[in-house]
Structure 1
């Protein structure tokens, strides 16, 4: 079936001498994998390899067989032009990190308009704002809503957060409970949006510890999720 859809690039992997295997989250059909043949050596093709940088927003025309195999992309063009995400050193590192998280966390092979809108709007906000040092923390927290394990914040003033159950409580009930500064940071982030990020002041140590806690939360709730390899690069660029 020939499909016209918006798509966000999650990854692009060189295959053989000239091919690319590209994973995209599409607005109409969820996660799709495309084999782009000879794209790395062809200068006259309709589709350029430069389009497939991490988290690039595209408009594509593709033939979807929907049989769990790689699909065929016929056309691709930029759907949105970023001003900073692929040129600003810190932002490009965050983009690399988030694309790896998304590749590991998002498995839906069906349309999810709410998730697509969240990704699209969040990335555009990130691209056009300067005070973004904590963006990745709030992004990962908000992403859990679409993955099915957003924290229950109805009792967020309680001092303990249970990573296993995803709720706040008075006392520790298992080894997955946290009681340190991460609880305070979580409470702050649950009460804000991207526009309010500038009000949350964290030093590098606090930011790094909270990120590790978030990734542990992902590992508990997503089968097969593992700590991104790009975490070390992210920590290095923030230090």
Structure 2
């Protein structure tokens, strides 16, 4: 069955000498993995391989078969041409980090157009803006809405946030009860849009602390989630 769909590249892995295995989040089919045979062999193949940079937005024609774990791509086009996402060192660090998080969290082969649209539009926002140092924090926080554990803001004025339960509470329950600067920042970001992110002032130490907290939040709510391997490099670049 031939299927045409937009797709976002989550990961790529060299296979044998000339092949690539690429995992994409597609608009029509959810997460799909592809085997690109011989793509690293010829000059023409190298040109095609360049399409599959992390978080690139593509339009694919797929030869899809239900009984196959690695699908085949008949044709590839760029659906969005980034101007800075892969060429700017800080933005490319964000791309590397977020692609690993998304590859880790998006597992299901099922269609979710609202989640796809969220990832698609926020990446385009990042590509075209120059104030983005807190982008990844808001991106991850908003991502929890589509993954099913967005913070319950009903009692947002309470002095603690229970990471395990995902809600604000009057008393500290255990070591997963959040307070202090991370709590203040969480409340700020819950009421912030990407366009207003530049008004949220955070130093590098607070940014790292909050990122560690939100990754812990992912771990508590997604049993298979693992801390990204790129986290250490990512923090070093942003310092």
TM bracket (short chain)? over 0.9
CA distance in structure 2 between the partners assigned to 1:68 and 1:16 by the alignment: 19
Q: Which residue of 2 aligns with 1:84?
A: 84
Aligned CA RMSD, in angstroms, stands at 1.2
Task: Give the alignment of 1:117-196 within 5 angstroms.
Answer: 117-196=117-196
Matches within 5 A, 1:1-239: 1-45=1-45, 48-67=48-67, 69-239=69-239
Q: 3-state SS of the aligned residue for 1:76?
A: strand
Deviation at 1:44, TM superposition (A): 3.5
In structure 2, how many angstroms separate the alpha carbons of the residues matched to 1:94 and 1:140? 12
Partner secondary structure for residue 48 of structure 1: helix
Residues 57 and 78, structure 1, Cα contact 8 Å, conserved in 2: yes
**Is residue 40–residue 46 contact of structure 2 (8 Å, CA) maintained in 1?**
no
Whole-Å separation in 2 of the counterparts to 1:115 and 1:83: 23
Query: Do the aligned partners of residues 68 and 139 (structure 1) sit closer, same or farther apart at CA in structure 2, a change above 3 Å counting?
Result: farther
* Distance in structure 2 (CA, Å) of the matches to 1:107 and 1:66: 16
- Contact residue 47 and residue 75 of structure 1 kept, 8 A: no
List gaps (5 residues or longer) in structure 2.
none
Using the alignment, how far apart are the partners of 1:26 and 1:209 within structure 2?
32
3-state DSSP class of the match of 1:96? helix
Deviation of 1:68 (Å): 5.5
CA contact (8 A) 2:39 2:46 kept: no
* Structure 1 contact 62–72 (Cα < 8 Å) conserved: yes
Alignment gaps of 5+ in structure 1: none
- Residue 47 of structure 1 contacts residue 76 of structure 1 at CA under 8 Å; is this kept in 2? no
What TM-score, normalized to structure 2? 0.98
CA drift of 1:156 comes to 1.2
Report the Cα distance in structure 2 between the residues aligned to 1:215 and 1:204, rounded to whole angstroms.
Answer: 17
Pairwise CA distance, 1:159: 1.0
CA drift of 1:148 comes to 0.6
Residue 80 of structure 1 aligns to a residue whose secondary structure is coil
- After TM superposition, the score normalised by the length of structure 1 is 0.98
Question: How far does residue 158 in structure 1 lie from its aligned partner after superposition?
Answer: 1.1
Q: What is the CA distance between 1:46 and its match in structure 2?
A: 9.9
**Runs of 4+ in structure 1 over 2 Å off:** 42-47
How many residues were matched structurally?
Answer: 239
